[in-house]
Structure 1
């Protein structure tokens, strides 16, 4: 009787586990499927009141994608996004890794205070400092340029600093001491020894931070109001204006925005999990 009870409990637990996985998968897949199916419909199908998950008449109807790509100015938006993404990630990697290296390897007065301030900055909601941040950005003359979001993305990423800090703590100090004996300075040690060993952390930061920048709407919309400086998120938002009732075209634009990040995530997802796990266990 006890064995049967344990077997029944095990079956219930297994069923609940896989059922929760199926539900979670549907929550993610169904909206994406609705966007793709809607983007393949014609205006007549949409006017007929077709369901979001109904099958389109023509699976090769790419007219909506052509309209979204040309009239939605998606090439310019992709270029602006790629420009901001590249320099933001480059700055985040170097600033974050050098900050973590300085905090961990160099013992100075007030070191714990600096770490506490980093933690405090991570806990403060960013929206509470936007008035002051806007004034600073406007004062230094980068308002309505691509450099405004680049500076903000680079200088406010506290999480990346902590990721690099966890990895640097796993690097033996004996490597630094051996390099100092050979006459290497702090910058040479960082560039020749520490930075190459941070490749898993760099991959983790680049992927996590890159997805966040790619999907961000608030900072580009606030600090780059010019339409020629629109990113994919702000261009998609503005794209709703002339095509407010044409959901098939809007869905095609949304699919174009989702596709690059989806491909990158599926190709590099193992680096996310392995990098975070390595940083937690080392």
Structure 2
């Protein structure tokens, strides 16, 4: 039995390496090849390592567009995450701690946000009416709207595991409702807050479709949209394209490698009946 478990574990490890590690190896090798070798799209060792040359070419492309894209993506990510954490935590707290006849309807709307796909054309019309189309703060609000449902569910489940006695004790001591939340409950939400920050940061930073729809213009470019710099209808610079992919992938990958335990802890800590 034990030997069979070891064999199954080795097989699973090999399959995992083939599925998840091989693509990264392919990206890394292609990113350091010459244009001619990279165009063959083969998993082979480069005859000449051009890491630095390709890196400089990617950064300098289109008047350092990648640096602007990193700035825009960082602004959108930080702004959206800040609003998401505060708003989702407050909504989850109210739904969990303040039962009312509206809670079922509100919870249904939250679930609908996970199931119903966004309507692009009406959203663009609304952004134009609010003068938020093609703006970073409009993109921040879009990301908050799309990530709110998932975040609220996580916060609500975690808050269900916090004893109500803490709320009652704070109220007896004279704390106001906002003080109960910000000074008693919010500090206890660190595990799930870290999970929301990490998961949503990677999602927003790596988002391709939403900036493509709602944030057109070269001044508003995000990191994922810079992939168009090296691919067109008639020609593609595969070595620079994969170097760009490598630069875009590294930050989220580092976050998952170093904080994967916190992500799992936050996802499972609130797994109670609430």
Q: Quick one: distance in 2 between partners of 1:180 and 1:210?
A: 35
Task: Report the Cα offset of residue 60 of structure 1.
Answer: 5.7
Change (3 A) 1:68 1:185: same
| 1:140 corresponds to 2:102 | no
| CA distances 1:52-90 after superposition (whole Å, capped 9, x unpaired) | 221123346311111111115111110000000000000
Q: In 1, are the aligned partners of 2:92 and 2:155 still within 8 Å (CA)? A: yes
Q: Counterparts of 1:48-197 in structure 2 under 5 Å?
A: 49=40, 52-59=42-49, 61-71=51-61, 73-126=65-118, 129-156=119-146, 157-197=148-188
TM-score, structure 2 as length reference: 0.91
**Residue 29 (structure 1) shift:** 1.2
Deviation at 1:135, TM superposition (A): 1.6
> Which stretches of structure 1, 4 residues or more, deviate above 6 A after TM superposition?
none
How many residues align? The count is: 270
- The alpha-carbon distance between structure 1 residues 71 and 171, as it changes in their structure 2 partners (threshold 3 A), is same
Residue in 2 aligned with 1:3? none
TM-superposed deviation, 1:111: 1.6
Distance 1:71 1:60, change over 3 A: closer
1:201 and 2:198 are equivalent in the alignment: no
Partner Cα distance (1:123, 1:141) in 2: 28
RMSD (Å) for aligned C-alpha atoms: 2.0
What is the DSSP-based 3-state SS (H/G/I as helix, E as strand, rest coil) of the residue aligned with 2:216? Answer: coil
Is contact 1:97-1:161 (8 Å) kept?
yes
SS of the equivalent of 1:260 reads helix
SS at match of 2:175: coil
Query: TM-score w.r.t. structure 1 length?
Result: 0.89
